[in-house]
Amino acid sequence: MGRYNFAPQRVHQAATRLLQVRNPKSPSTIQPPPPWYTVIGNLPPSERLVRPPLQPAQRKGRKASKLFQPVKLQYQEDQLRLDFFGDHPWELARPRQVLEDDGKDYQNFDWSQLDQPTKQVDGERQAWLMGLLRHELDFSASPQLLDYLRSDVFQDEMLPLFNENYAVDLQSGQLPSRTDYTDADASVPVNLYMTYHPRYPHQFKDALKHLNQMLAEQGLDTSSVNRRSFNIALLHSDAVAQTLRGIDLAAIGKQYNVVMNLGPEATIKPFAEDPFNVLPISLSYYRNASANVPALLNHLATTLNIKTTDILSPTLPSAEPDTYQAYTKAGAYDKARKEFYDVRHTQDIERRVAREEALWTGAEFGPSPLDIGMQLEDQKYEEWREWAAKEIMAIKQLSGASAKAGDQDALLDVDSDQDVLSALDEVEPSVPGSKRGQNAQGGAFVHA
């Protein structure tokens, strides 16, 4: 049967045949079944799908089966932890609690903030940041609306309100000042960004509704938010004009989330060419439907039975989604790293203040880990200094630098020998325990 062994399933069948065969010497004697006969009949063994203790030798030229190999489990958090602890190895020295009661502690954490009351600070927030989405709104703001967006009421009151009530981070792009535009009454392009987590879509919808209501109160037509326009022209002919009168442009545009309006016939006179008549069509759509415009033009050409080259249009619009990932892997790591440094710095200040308060009340502390480390480095440096002096003395004795035998047997005076002092000064900058310290080498990894 190939590589599977079904012999265990035939054990009961073979035993039944043996029991049915009577003994020729005593035909009337019925042979009793073994104790396992009934159990094997009720619970027949399955095919052999477990790895045997000894694998047979594989035939040459044939790959081993991967059926019995364990599945390799991979999680995104494993690589993120590897990058974080690779850049911060001393974080591994901090004690951590890895036991959980029900395995659902992650559901009780508020990952929107790094410092949580019941959880130790680490780099786990990067995965949360990589899952955030950003919804962008762009529109043309009037001078009055621009002044409102730049006011303290919007910056200090409205922006924190969205974060507290809806857990949505509302930010505005770089708002230009009036001095950047010569016309004081001209509209200014503005961008607003709403960052949220897809786990709470209802909160984002409520926040978007609140924002649109607030912009409408300031005199903005909310239908123009994220709105785009695109103009095309069809070469005029009686067949095309007759077909356009018979089709429903609104129904075709609705399939692609695009509004189409047919304009009156116009005449175009290109440079150094004869003029010709065209039928202009204006397209209006939201930015998240910009990818539907090429498909709409192909549908329109098929319906009118014309070539796509007969549709005069500028460069087709590129895809512009209004909702996209808020952070890349590198961006999320950089943001989580800076937040982590701020929390660790705050904790370090709190410990230093507590130490100063304890010293003021009469407490005594032993040497800190840094002091102990410096003592060990100084001890190793002195041992190395003695070893280097002995090595230099041995080299001088072998080379015959001293003519007198008494000078060769004398101990080397480290403080008075100029060769030893110059050698020690040459290597002193790279010794950790020296007065000049050690040159900084290495640094954090760069994450792509």
pLDDT digits (tens, 9 = 90+) for 336-351: 999 999 999 999 999 9
Q: Is the pLDDT of residue 444 over 80?
A: no
Compare 158 and 28 and report the one with higher pLDDT.
158
Has residue 25 got a pLDDT over 70? no
d(CA 429, CA 425): 8
pLDDT at 270: 77
Identify the pLDDT of residue 194: 94
215 and 255 co-located in one domain: no
Average pLDDT over residues 109-117: 78
Stronger pLDDT, 70 or 386, i.e. the higher one: 386
Tell me the mean pLDDT in the region 135-157.
89
Average pLDDT over residues 123-146: 88
258: nearest Cα among 233, 281, 283: 283
Task: Give residue 231's Cα distance to chain centre.
Answer: 39
Q: Are residues 384 and 431 in the same domain?
A: yes
**What b-and-e string marks burial along 37-67, b requiring 16 or more CB atoms within 10 Å of the CB?**
eeebeeeeeeeeeeeeeeeeeeeeeeeeeee
Q: Is there a single domain that holds both residue 158 and residue 217?
A: yes
Q: Quote the percentage of the chain above a pLDDT of 70.
A: 79
CATH number, residue 194:
3.30.1370
Residue 320 lies in a domain: no
Do 188 and 238 lie in one domain? The reply is: no
pTM over 0.85: no
Average pLDDT in the 160-180 region? 85
Rounded to whole angstroms, how far apart are CA atoms 38 and 51? 27
77-86: pLDDT as tens digits? 888 888 998 9
Burial of 325 from C-beta contacts in 10 A (0-12 / 13-18 / 19+): middle
With 90 as the cut, is the pLDDT of residue 309 above it?
no
Which residue would you say has higher pLDDT here, 3 or 296? 296
- pLDDT at residue 39 in the model: 86
Which has more pLDDT, 28 or 435?
28
Q: Please determine, for residue 137, whether its predicted confidence score (pLDDT) is greater than 50.
A: yes
Closest by CA to 423, choosing from 377, 380, 391, is: 391
Q: How far is CA 180 from the centre of its chain?
A: 37
CB–CB of 168/204 below 8 Å? yes
CB contact at 8 A, 447 and 333: yes
- pLDDT band of 1, cuts 50, 70, 90: very low
**Residue 423 in domain:** yes
Coil/strand/helix, residue 229: strand
pLDDT tens column, 179-224: 666 666 678 889 999 999 888 888 999 999 999 999 999 989 998 9
Predicted pLDDT of residue 419: 67
Helical segments of 58-180, H only:
76-87, 125-130, 143-150, 152, 159-166
**Does 444 fall in a domain?**
yes
pLDDT at position 443, please?
Answer: 43
Q: Is residue 213 part of a domain?
A: yes
Q: Are residues 189 and 249 in the same domain?
A: no
Q: Give the pLDDT band (50/70/90) at residue 56.
A: low
Token digits for 391?
Answer: 């090595």
Domain region containing 209:
132-224
Q: Is residue 425 part of a domain?
A: yes
Residues 58-76 have a mean pLDDT of 73
Do 244 and 190 sit in the same domain of this protein?
no
Q: Which of 187, 208, 224 is the last residue of a domain?
A: 224
Domain count of the chain?
Answer: 4
At residue 100, the pLDDT reads: 72
Which pLDDT tens digit goes with each residue over 351-401? 999 989 998 998 888 888 888 999 999 999 999 999 999 999 888 888 875
91 located within any domain: no
Q: Assess whether 427 and 376 both reside in one domain.
A: yes
- Whether residue 38 is contained in a domain is answered as yes
Best-predicted range by mean pLDDT among 101-105, 184-188, 202-206, 408-412? 202-206
Is 439's pLDDT higher than 60?
no
Residues 6+ apart with CB under 8 A from 82: none
Residue 196 falls within a domain, yes or no?
yes
Query: Do residues 260 and 220 both lie within one domain?
Result: no
232-256: per-residue pLDDT in tens?
Answer: 998 888 888 888 888 888 899 999 9
> Over 50: is that where the pLDDT of 442 sits?
no
Same domain, 136 and 206: yes
Q: 183 and 158 in one domain?
A: yes
210 and 238 together in one domain: no
pLDDT at position 64 over 70? no
pLDDT at 441: 47
Kindly state the tokens that stand for 244. 């356009």
pLDDT of res. 446: 47
**Are 264 and 248 found together in one domain?**
yes
